Amino acid sequence: MTPPQTLADLVDHVRENFADIEGIVDGDVRLSYAELADAIDAFAAGLIADGLQPGEAVALWAPNIWEWVVAALGTFRAGGVLVPVNTRFKGREAAYVLGKAKVRVLITVTGFLDADYLGMLDASGESLPLLRRRVVLRGETPAGAMSRTDLVALADDAARAEVARRVAAIRPDDMGLVMFTSGTTGLPKGVMVLHNPIIRGFEFYGSCMGIERGERYLIISPFFHAFGLNGGIVPAMLFGATILPWAVFDATKVLEVIESERVNIAPGPPAIFQGLLNHPDLDRYDVSSLQRCVTGAATIPVEMVIQMRERLGMTAVITAYGMTETHGLASICRADDDAETIAKTSGRALDGVELRIVDEDGNELPRGTAGELWVRGFNVMAGYLDDPEQTAATITPDGWLRTGDIAVMDDRGYIDITDRMKDMFIVGGFNAYPAEIERMMIEHPRVGQVAVIGIPDERLGEVGAAFVVAAPGPAPDRDEVIAWCREQMANYKVPRAVWLVDALPLNPSNKVLKTELRDRAAALLAGG
């Protein structure tokens, strides 16, 4: 079976090869792949009838629900560029992304976890003159917005015919998405993601996983994240597995759905599997159907891999490494790798991808020596949207992507990510960037200076901690600062610890010494 060449082609691929297989299951909604494909094309025709032009940006701000898949693939089929938006973003964060990507259509939901996305966007006060349409997939449709049903009702024969023409016009190296990733500048950067590298990389991923037609694929990682869309929806459709979207992780409910839906595959960050293994009633659930997963984005104890095999019954636990800038994947373990290799490495390069460990001058280092990981190959991004300077700083003239991660490569070519050159830390699989958090916290009226670092957390791997120098006047209250942060930013970015200090330690260039703060945090945590 020849894999499709673009994300838009995925729909024809499942219609032709897996029409009678259950394509997606979400609560009471059960659609075959033929029905899912028809729903996608109806949505695409609705977008076209509503005026969407090829190459225009469509933002999707919604949780893991079946309508997300319809809207995302419908956007590709209509020739649009998809802009996934983090469901944990507040209004200002989302407004920045929508403005930067010049979004014309926003597709969202109302009432998810009591979040009023459209209300938050309006309350942000940000001007979005290019945004002309708001579509609600699920929930009440407020004034000024259109429901999914009404959008689909716009589709006529001419719009449906135009879908096929637009799909045929999409080239494998066209931009399919702009996926935003925060950076050390404190503002999110739009990664220009192409159609074919996702297909090519995750066809290899699915082959390593051994995904088979008709298997049940539980997708807990958010669809807006590369691990959810690229590593979930795409391989499921490539290999004909049933998509089981999961919006909010709850160990008990996940165990229930594994049992009731006979889930075979469940990728996710280590925190998810730690949560399942720690569940007091794990042994009461029938998880015998569970066979395979891919995990990564955090350190994994060898014992955890062993327990995943013994207690969760997984025959293949695979680790991988990737970033948005590599279309979500750069290296992956193979199914027959031993537990220690899987726990202590992030695999070896994909076919068609090169990995190199270099020193600060870009010179390749001997095997076993720590240095910065560089990546080159088909999977390297096209660049950052409207940011040639950041693109040039990240991709060398001869095509090597500077990842900013410190790694060691063994004689087999397997890499072990040991540290981060940047200050990023990972909270339960979500990348958190101190500069972005600091930029927002400094707007608190009682915060004069702030420095954020990552500290260890048993459940999430790492969480944020903030060292705060008070502004003139009354000192800020720790709990009040944390509560304020919860209103201003996504929950995973919110510092779990806030310590007041008289001054931040600086080097001769007046840069904050984060290493010293990490030592200080370790001492504070050790002292209770």
CATH code, domain with 486: 3.30.300.30
| Full-model pTM | 0.85
Q: State whether 437 and 399 are in the same domain.
A: no
Confidence of residue 184 (pLDDT cuts 50, 70, 90): very low
Q: Residue 116 and residue 220: Cα distance in Å, rounded? A: 22
Tokens of 223: 């669809």
Q: Residue 259 and residue 290: Cα distance in Å, rounded? A: 9
At 261-282, the pLDDT tens digits run 999 999 988 778 878 888 889 9
21 within domain boundaries:
no
Q: State whether 414 and 265 are in the same domain.
A: yes
Q: State whether 448 and 364 are in the same domain.
A: no
53 within domain boundaries:
yes
- Provide the pLDDT for residue 348: 96
Q: State whether 467 and 350 are in the same domain.
A: no
466 within domain boundaries:
yes
Q: State whether 40 and 161 are in the same domain.
A: yes
- Provide the pLDDT for residue 187: 80
Closest CA to 107 of 72, 78, 76, 140: 72
Q: State whether 258 and 174 are in the same domain.
A: no
286 within domain boundaries:
yes
Q: Residue 182 and residue 178: Cα distance in Å, rounded? A: 13
Domain C-terminal end among 375, 395, 420: 420
At 498-509, the pLDDT tens digits run 999 988 887 644
Average pLDDT (97-105) is 98
Q: Answer yes or no: are the C-beta atoms of 65 and 219 closer than 8 Å.
A: no
At 395-427, the pLDDT tens digits run 999 999 999 988 899 999 999 887 666 677 889
Q: State whether 269 and 368 are in the same domain.
A: yes
Q: State whether 444 and 392 are in the same domain.
A: no
Average pLDDT (361-378) is 95
- Provide the pLDDT for residue 159: 98
Closest CA to 190 of 181, 199, 202: 181
Torsion of CA 191, 197, 202, 205, to 10 degrees: -100
Full domain range(s) for residue 374: 249-420
Torsion of CA 411, 415, 420, 422, to 10 degrees: 100
233 within domain boundaries:
no
229 within domain boundaries:
no
In the predicted structure, residue 153 carries a pLDDT above the cut 70: yes
In the predicted structure, residue 183 carries a pLDDT above the cut 70: no
- Provide the pLDDT for residue 513: 83
* CATH, residue 81: 3.40.50.980
Q: State whether 167 and 272 are in the same domain.
A: no
Confidence of residue 528 (pLDDT cuts 50, 70, 90): low
Average pLDDT (354-364) is 95
At 235-266, the pLDDT tens digits run 999 999 999 999 988 889 999 999 999 999 99
- Provide the pLDDT for residue 508: 45
- Provide the pLDDT for residue 268: 85
Q: State whether 276 and 181 are in the same domain.
A: no
Tokens of 228: 């959810």
Q: Which segment of 11-20, 196-205, 331-340, 461-470 scores lowest on mean pLDDT? A: 331-340
Domain C-terminal end among 174, 194, 214: 194
Mean pLDDT (the chain, rounded): 92
Q: State whether 522 and 413 are in the same domain.
A: no
Domain C-terminal end among 388, 420, 452: 420
Q: Best-predicted range by mean pLDDT among 269-283, 333-347, 360-374? A: 360-374
As for how many domains the chain has, the answer is 3
The shares of helix, strand and coil residues in the chain, as percent rounded to the nearest 5, are 35, 25, 40
207 within domain boundaries:
no
* Mode of pairing for the β-strands spanning 242-245 and 316-321: unpaired
- Percentage of the chain surpassing pLDDT 70? 96
Q: State whether 154 and 303 are in the same domain.
A: no
287 within domain boundaries:
yes
At 106-121, the pLDDT tens digits run 999 998 888 899 999 9
